[in-house]
A and B are shown apart, each in its own frame.
Chain A
Amino acid sequence: MKKQLSANEQIIANDVMRYKKNTLASALALLGLVFNCLYFTVLYAMPKSEFTTISIGFSVLLTLVVLLTIFLSSEGVKGYNKKFAIVLLVVAVFQILRIFYYPLMGIRDNLLIDADSLHTIGYFGYYPHDSSAFFFTLMLVYLLASAACLIASAVWGWIVADRLEKFQAKLDSGEADVMEAVRQLNAEEEAQNKNNAQAAPLKPAEREVQ
């Protein structure tokens, strides 16, 4: 069970954010980026598919924009910037929308791809030769996973950034004082240590002396 923090401990916990990056939100965003990469490695590894048209060029461009946006946003949320949480959310929605283009199109129209000539780092291992739908499902899963990571990153980034914003307002208004909290906690710890030392059982040699 999570320990209930005292008011002073809460101040310290919040103050840590002022000096530490939001690495969790950033890592989640980057994981979303990795899933996006896996998605396009499968998509662009289909040499004889129906997709090798002019639209694939547009898709490449879009992918580059998505990659760049996710990367920059991951740095943004790392620095507790709320705006980038919104950007990540928008990209996540876009990733979900992408599901309805290539992957669903492939599954719905039962597009055939030459599975033997498909070499991609997006998938290793056994694949069913009789169904190309397997690869489109894989692309769908990657996009969903990417979107899920981006949403998680955006939500966590927003929550923590909001907490830090409120804490900063408290600091500015003088409602919270970090150094006072540090002093009080140190004093409490010192008193606790003293009590523990007094309560500690005597060693045999000390008992003999007494």
Chain B
Amino acid sequence: MPEVNIRHLDKIYDGGVQAVYDFNLDIHDGEFIVLVGPSGCGKSTTLRMVAGLEDITKGELVIDGKDCTRMPPKDRDIAMVFQNYALYGHMTIYENMAFSLTLRKEDKMVIHRKVMAAAEILDLKTQLNKKPRQLSGGQRQRVAMGRAIVRNPKLFLFDEPLSNLDAQLRGSMRRELMLLHRRLNATIMYVTHDQTEALTLADRIVCMSMGHVQQIGKPIDLYDHPANTFVATFIGLPPMNMFNGKVEGGDFVCDWFRYPLDERQLKALEGYDGKEVILGVRPENIVKDGPVSLSVTNNENLGMNTLVHGKVAGQKNIVCKFAEWSHYKFGDEIRIGFDAEKVHFFELPSGEIPGKALL
């Protein structure tokens, strides 16, 4: 499997709308890269530029040492799996999977071997004589993957392949995708807006917003050390709670509470005394019994944990995730605190630029 180098990629559509700004990424051999971000952030456009379905306005795309920037899609040796499967309804599953090889006029014995090998990997052997309409959504998506696998491409591209499936099926398909990646040791670029998919599948995540790359890193890095307020709020479910405030005399002070900073935090916030910053804390890093008062507005027991929604000082909406089953009622007043090790600080966002992480 090859390396993929994407350098300074820009996409500007006719009319001047820029969808992608200076996208840089080196994808290593066998790596699973997930592009994640909200709708319209440019992740699919980036993927389509790599596939050759969109022209690259500026920048360079190198696959396996070969410059593919202006190369037509068919010569890039890339296979793409789409959200809507894109299967041929009048063909059987076997014919669908064999189609690209038939077009290449490969020997029918070779085609058969490749199709059977892919069908075994994807557990589709018993479905090969059926038509796509006779299969479930998950099976159809597996067929679409099979069609990509038989080509043995240098790079697999997945454009939100699980978005059409129900939650349960999405979970099982995620596990299948992980197994598939391990089995094929394939280099994969995967686009999704679902952060669960991103966190569970990726070797590295590329988090995007408004055409800009916000952070590239391992899932745990994005989760534990978000580079800015956008990544902090986008990655993690429920999202991180953010409090706008000021650093004042060794404390973080906001409209709703005063939070004493420890030595590590003070060091990170050096030079910010008197300046406005944002304190971020994930719902699971909020602990019971602390200095902050929370007025409960909702209590959601999810079985393995409880989400408690409430208002800090009766004003600021936040959500807490407690490991144990809770039975709070609307209006209950509880005391909460923050796990000091897991509290984040950010600069204030400036216009559309998210606030940079300070700690």
The answer on a CB contact under 8 Å between B113 and A186 is yes
The answer on a CB contact under 8 Å between A185 and B129 is no
Number of B interface residues in the complex (CB < 8 A):
13
Residues of A within 8 A of B120 (CB): 179, 182
Shortest CB–CB separation between residue A10 and chain B, in angstroms?
10
Residues of A within 8 A of B116 (CB): 15, 178-179, 182
The answer on a CB contact under 8 Å between B117 and A16 is no
A70 to B113, CA, bound (A): 34
B interface secondary structure, majority = helix
The answer on a CB contact under 8 Å between A12 and B113 is yes
The answer on a CB contact under 8 Å between B113 and A19 is no
The answer on a CB contact under 8 Å between A19 and B94 is yes
Residues of A within 8 A of B115 (CB): 19
The answer on a CB contact under 8 Å between B117 and A19 is no
Please report the number of residue pairs spanning A and B whose Cβ atoms sit closer than 8 angstroms. Answer: 30
Residues of B within 8 A of A12 (CB): 109, 112-113
Does B108 count as interface, using CB distance less than 8 angstroms? yes
Knowing A179-B116, A179-B120, A186-B117 are in contact, say whether A9-B94 is a contact too (CB < 8 A).
no
Residue from A20, A179, A186 having most chain B Cβ neighbours under 10 A: A20
Residues of B within 8 A of A179 (CB): 116, 120
The answer on a CB contact under 8 Å between A19 and B109 is no
Residues of A within 8 A of B129 (CB): 18-19
Does A169 count as interface, using CB distance less than 8 angstroms? no
Does B128 count as interface, using CB distance less than 8 angstroms? yes
Knowing A178-B116, A179-B120 are in contact, say whether A19-B108 is a contact too (CB < 8 A).
no
A→B interface (CB under 8 Å): 9, 12-13, 15-16, 18-20, 178-179, 182, 185-186
Task: Please name the 8 residue pairs, one residue from A and one from B, whose CB atoms are nearest each other, closest first.
Answer: A19-B94, A16-B112, A182-B113, A182-B116, A12-B109, A19-B128, A12-B112, A182-B117
